[in-house]
Structure 1
Protein backbone atom coordinates (compact mmCIF):
# COMPACT_ATOMS: atom_id res chain seq x y z
CA UNK A 1 0.00 0.00 0.00
CA UNK A 2 2.83 2.42 0.80
CA UNK A 3 4.27 2.18 -2.71
CA UNK A 4 0.88 2.92 -4.31
CA UNK A 5 0.24 5.82 -1.93
CA UNK A 6 3.71 7.23 -2.58
CA UNK A 7 3.01 7.14 -6.32
CA UNK A 8 -0.38 8.82 -5.90
CA UNK A 9 1.06 11.60 -3.73
CA UNK A 10 3.99 12.18 -6.09
CA UNK A 11 1.69 12.24 -9.11
CA UNK A 12 -0.69 14.67 -7.36
CA UNK A 13 2.25 16.93 -6.54
CA UNK A 14 3.51 16.70 -10.11
CA UNK A 15 0.11 17.96 -11.24
CA UNK A 16 0.43 20.89 -8.83
CA UNK A 17 3.98 21.64 -9.98
CA UNK A 18 2.83 21.61 -13.62
CA UNK A 19 -0.46 23.46 -12.96
CA UNK A 20 -2.24 20.51 -14.60
CA UNK A 21 -5.84 21.06 -13.49
CA UNK A 22 -7.38 18.17 -15.43
CA UNK A 23 -4.98 15.54 -14.11
CA UNK A 24 -5.20 17.02 -10.62
CA UNK A 25 -9.00 16.67 -10.72
CA UNK A 26 -8.66 13.07 -11.93
CA UNK A 27 -6.66 12.25 -8.80
CA UNK A 28 -9.23 13.75 -6.38
CA UNK A 29 -12.15 11.96 -4.78
CA UNK A 30 -15.54 13.59 -5.41
CA UNK A 31 -15.65 14.58 -1.72
CA UNK A 32 -12.05 15.90 -1.77
CA UNK A 33 -11.14 18.38 0.97
CA UNK A 34 -8.43 21.03 0.64
CA UNK A 35 -7.21 22.96 3.69
CA UNK A 36 -4.52 25.62 3.30
CA UNK A 37 -2.00 26.97 5.82
CA UNK A 38 -4.50 29.56 7.07
CA UNK A 39 -6.98 26.75 7.81
CA UNK A 40 -9.28 27.76 4.94
CA UNK A 41 -11.30 24.67 4.07
CA UNK A 42 -12.87 23.85 0.70
CA UNK A 43 -14.95 20.72 0.23
CA UNK A 44 -15.79 18.86 -2.97
CA UNK A 45 -13.70 18.28 -6.08
CA UNK A 46 -15.45 20.93 -8.18
CA UNK A 47 -15.14 23.56 -5.44
CA UNK A 48 -11.48 22.74 -4.84
CA UNK A 49 -10.69 23.14 -8.53
CA UNK A 50 -12.71 26.33 -9.07
CA UNK A 51 -12.14 28.06 -5.72
CA UNK A 52 -8.60 26.97 -4.87
CA UNK A 53 -6.46 25.54 -7.65
CA UNK A 54 -7.50 27.55 -10.72
CA UNK A 55 -7.12 30.92 -8.94
CA UNK A 56 -3.90 29.76 -7.26
CA UNK A 57 -2.28 28.70 -10.54
CA UNK A 58 -3.35 31.99 -12.13
CA UNK A 59 -1.62 33.95 -9.36
CA UNK A 60 1.43 31.70 -8.91
CA UNK A 61 2.11 30.12 -12.30
CA UNK A 62 5.63 28.93 -11.43
CA UNK A 63 4.88 27.51 -7.96
CA UNK A 64 6.53 24.19 -7.05
CA UNK A 65 6.40 21.88 -4.04
CA UNK A 66 9.68 20.19 -3.20
CA UNK A 67 9.27 17.05 -1.09
CA UNK A 68 12.16 16.13 1.22
CA UNK A 69 10.60 13.34 3.27
CA UNK A 70 7.52 11.16 2.80
CA UNK A 71 6.19 9.41 5.90
CA UNK A 72 3.48 6.75 5.98
CA UNK A 73 1.46 6.95 9.19
CA UNK A 74 -1.15 4.29 8.47
CA UNK A 75 -2.64 2.61 5.42
CA UNK A 76 -4.31 5.74 4.08
CA UNK A 77 -2.32 8.61 5.63
CA UNK A 78 0.79 10.17 4.14
CA UNK A 79 2.73 13.06 5.67
CA UNK A 80 5.25 15.00 3.61
CA UNK A 81 7.88 17.46 4.78
CA UNK A 82 9.34 19.95 2.36
CA UNK A 83 9.11 23.46 1.01
CA UNK A 84 7.78 25.48 -1.89
CA UNK A 85 9.58 27.56 -4.46
CA UNK A 86 8.08 30.46 -6.34
CA UNK A 87 9.03 33.79 -7.85
CA UNK A 88 6.57 35.27 -5.35
CA UNK A 89 8.51 35.90 -2.13
CA UNK A 90 5.48 35.00 0.03
CA UNK A 91 5.73 31.40 -1.17
CA UNK A 92 9.42 31.07 -1.93
CA UNK A 93 11.29 28.70 0.41
CA UNK A 94 8.17 28.36 2.54
CA UNK A 95 8.58 25.28 4.79
CA UNK A 96 5.48 23.10 4.89
CA UNK A 97 4.05 19.81 6.05
CA UNK A 98 1.44 18.22 3.83
CA UNK A 99 -1.06 15.88 5.46
CA UNK A 100 -2.69 13.64 2.87
CA UNK A 101 -5.45 11.04 3.04
CA UNK A 102 -5.78 8.48 0.25
CA UNK A 103 -9.08 6.76 -0.46
CA UNK A 104 -9.58 4.24 -3.26
CA UNK A 105 -6.31 5.32 -4.92
CA UNK A 106 -7.31 9.00 -5.00
CA UNK A 107 -6.52 11.96 -2.77
CA UNK A 108 -9.42 12.64 -0.40
CA UNK A 109 -7.64 15.24 1.77
CA UNK A 110 -4.79 17.62 0.95
CA UNK A 111 -3.96 19.72 3.98
CA UNK A 112 -1.03 22.11 4.19
CA UNK A 113 0.48 23.07 7.53
CA UNK A 114 3.30 25.47 8.27
CA UNK A 115 6.35 23.49 9.38
CA UNK A 116 6.54 24.48 13.03
CA UNK A 117 7.58 22.65 16.17
CA UNK A 118 3.96 22.71 17.38
CA UNK A 119 2.67 21.10 14.17
CA UNK A 120 5.44 18.48 14.18
CA UNK A 121 4.53 17.61 17.78
CA UNK A 122 0.82 17.47 16.94
CA UNK A 123 1.54 15.07 14.06
CA UNK A 124 4.05 13.06 16.13
CA UNK A 125 6.92 13.81 13.76
Structure 2
Protein backbone atom coordinates (compact mmCIF):
# COMPACT_ATOMS: atom_id res chain seq x y z
CA UNK A 1 0.00 0.00 0.00
CA UNK A 2 1.26 3.44 -0.91
CA UNK A 3 1.64 5.96 1.89
CA UNK A 4 1.86 8.92 -0.48
CA UNK A 5 0.46 9.97 -3.84
CA UNK A 6 2.05 7.71 -6.52
CA UNK A 7 2.62 10.80 -8.70
CA UNK A 8 5.15 12.04 -6.13
CA UNK A 9 7.07 8.77 -6.41
CA UNK A 10 7.12 9.08 -10.21
CA UNK A 11 8.25 12.71 -10.06
CA UNK A 12 11.06 11.76 -7.67
CA UNK A 13 12.05 8.82 -9.87
CA UNK A 14 12.20 11.09 -12.90
CA UNK A 15 14.34 13.59 -11.00
CA UNK A 16 16.83 10.78 -10.37
CA UNK A 17 16.74 9.88 -14.08
CA UNK A 18 17.37 13.48 -15.09
CA UNK A 19 20.21 13.78 -12.55
CA UNK A 20 21.51 10.37 -13.62
CA UNK A 21 21.60 9.33 -9.98
CA UNK A 22 21.53 5.54 -10.17
CA UNK A 23 22.05 5.10 -6.43
CA UNK A 24 18.95 7.06 -5.45
CA UNK A 25 16.98 5.70 -8.42
CA UNK A 26 17.74 2.18 -7.20
CA UNK A 27 16.22 2.98 -3.81
CA UNK A 28 12.88 3.62 -5.54
CA UNK A 29 12.78 0.25 -7.33
CA UNK A 30 10.78 -2.68 -5.98
CA UNK A 31 12.50 -6.07 -5.85
CA UNK A 32 10.40 -7.36 -8.76
CA UNK A 33 10.44 -4.16 -10.78
CA UNK A 34 10.17 -4.25 -14.56
CA UNK A 35 11.52 -1.88 -17.19
CA UNK A 36 9.35 -2.05 -20.29
CA UNK A 37 9.98 -0.38 -23.64
CA UNK A 38 6.89 -0.44 -25.82
CA UNK A 39 5.27 -3.82 -25.42
CA UNK A 40 8.39 -5.74 -24.45
CA UNK A 41 9.77 -6.20 -20.96
CA UNK A 42 13.43 -5.49 -21.37
CA UNK A 43 14.61 -5.96 -17.78
CA UNK A 44 13.15 -7.60 -14.70
CA UNK A 45 14.27 -7.41 -11.08
CA UNK A 46 15.83 -4.59 -9.11
CA UNK A 47 19.48 -5.51 -9.78
CA UNK A 48 18.99 -5.97 -13.52
CA UNK A 49 16.95 -2.76 -13.93
CA UNK A 50 19.44 -0.73 -11.89
CA UNK A 51 22.35 -2.00 -13.99
CA UNK A 52 20.38 -1.14 -17.12
CA UNK A 53 19.95 2.47 -15.93
CA UNK A 54 23.65 2.76 -15.04
CA UNK A 55 24.62 1.57 -18.53
CA UNK A 56 22.04 3.89 -20.13
CA UNK A 57 23.40 6.91 -18.23
CA UNK A 58 26.92 6.12 -19.48
CA UNK A 59 25.70 5.86 -23.08
CA UNK A 60 23.44 8.93 -23.03
CA UNK A 61 24.75 11.40 -20.43
CA UNK A 62 22.57 14.27 -21.65
CA UNK A 63 19.24 12.39 -21.57
CA UNK A 64 16.40 14.21 -19.77
CA UNK A 65 12.64 13.64 -19.43
CA UNK A 66 10.29 16.61 -19.35
CA UNK A 67 6.78 15.95 -18.08
CA UNK A 68 3.93 18.13 -19.32
CA UNK A 69 1.04 16.17 -17.77
CA UNK A 70 0.85 13.56 -15.03
CA UNK A 71 -2.24 11.70 -13.84
CA UNK A 72 -2.85 8.81 -11.52
CA UNK A 73 -5.62 6.34 -10.94
CA UNK A 74 -4.92 4.14 -7.97
CA UNK A 75 -1.38 2.78 -8.17
CA UNK A 76 -1.01 3.56 -11.89
CA UNK A 77 0.53 6.80 -13.13
CA UNK A 78 0.38 8.02 -16.73
CA UNK A 79 2.73 10.74 -17.96
CA UNK A 80 2.82 12.79 -21.16
CA UNK A 81 5.95 14.67 -22.11
CA UNK A 82 9.11 14.55 -24.12
CA UNK A 83 12.76 13.61 -23.84
CA UNK A 84 15.78 15.61 -24.85
CA UNK A 85 19.26 14.35 -25.65
CA UNK A 86 21.85 14.29 -28.41
CA UNK A 87 20.63 10.88 -29.63
CA UNK A 88 17.83 11.75 -32.06
CA UNK A 89 16.25 8.30 -31.66
CA UNK A 90 15.62 8.97 -27.98
CA UNK A 91 14.61 12.62 -28.21
CA UNK A 92 11.04 13.74 -28.76
CA UNK A 93 7.49 13.14 -27.55
CA UNK A 94 6.94 10.20 -25.23
CA UNK A 95 4.48 8.57 -22.89
CA UNK A 96 5.36 6.81 -19.67
CA UNK A 97 3.37 4.69 -17.30
CA UNK A 98 4.37 3.52 -13.88
CA UNK A 99 2.94 1.07 -11.41
CA UNK A 100 3.75 2.21 -7.89
CA UNK A 101 3.48 -0.27 -5.03
CA UNK A 102 4.54 0.43 -1.46
CA UNK A 103 5.90 3.80 -2.65
CA UNK A 104 8.30 2.03 -5.07
CA UNK A 105 8.38 1.76 -8.86
CA UNK A 106 7.10 -1.72 -9.67
CA UNK A 107 6.98 -1.11 -13.42
CA UNK A 108 8.31 1.71 -15.61
CA UNK A 109 7.01 1.63 -19.17
CA UNK A 110 8.18 3.85 -22.01
CA UNK A 111 5.88 4.27 -25.00
CA UNK A 112 5.84 6.20 -28.24
CA UNK A 113 3.41 9.11 -28.16
CA UNK A 114 0.97 7.82 -30.76
CA UNK A 115 -2.76 8.18 -31.14
CA UNK A 116 -3.14 4.44 -30.52
CA UNK A 117 -1.07 4.49 -27.32
CA UNK A 118 -2.94 7.54 -26.04
CA UNK A 119 -6.26 5.79 -26.70
CA UNK A 120 -5.11 2.63 -24.92
CA UNK A 121 -4.14 4.75 -21.90
CA UNK A 122 -7.37 6.74 -21.96
CA UNK A 123 -5.65 10.02 -22.80
CA UNK A 124 -7.56 12.61 -24.85
Corresponding residue number in structure 2 for 1:89: 88
Runs of 4 or more above 6 Å deviation: none
SS at match of 1:12: helix
Post-superposition offset of 1:4:
2.2
Corresponding residue number in structure 1 for 2:20: 19
Deviations 1:93-118 (A, max 9, x none): x2111010000011100000000001
User: So what's the TM-score if we normalise by structure 1?
Assistant: 0.90
Structure 2 unmatched ranges of 5 or more: none
Larger mean CA deviation between 23-32 and 81-90 belongs to 81-90
CA distance in 2, matches of 1:82, 1:115: 9
The alignment status of 1:33 with 2:7, answered yes or no, reads no
Match of 1:116 among 101, 105, 114: 114
Deviations 1:16-48 (A, max 9, x none): 001100000000101010012473421101001
Structure 1 unmatched ranges of 5 or more: none
The answer on whether the counterparts of 2:29 and 2:106 sit within 8 Å (CA) in structure 1 is yes
The answer on whether the counterparts of 2:7 and 2:71 sit within 8 Å (CA) in structure 1 is no
CA distance in 2, matches of 1:38, 1:101: 15
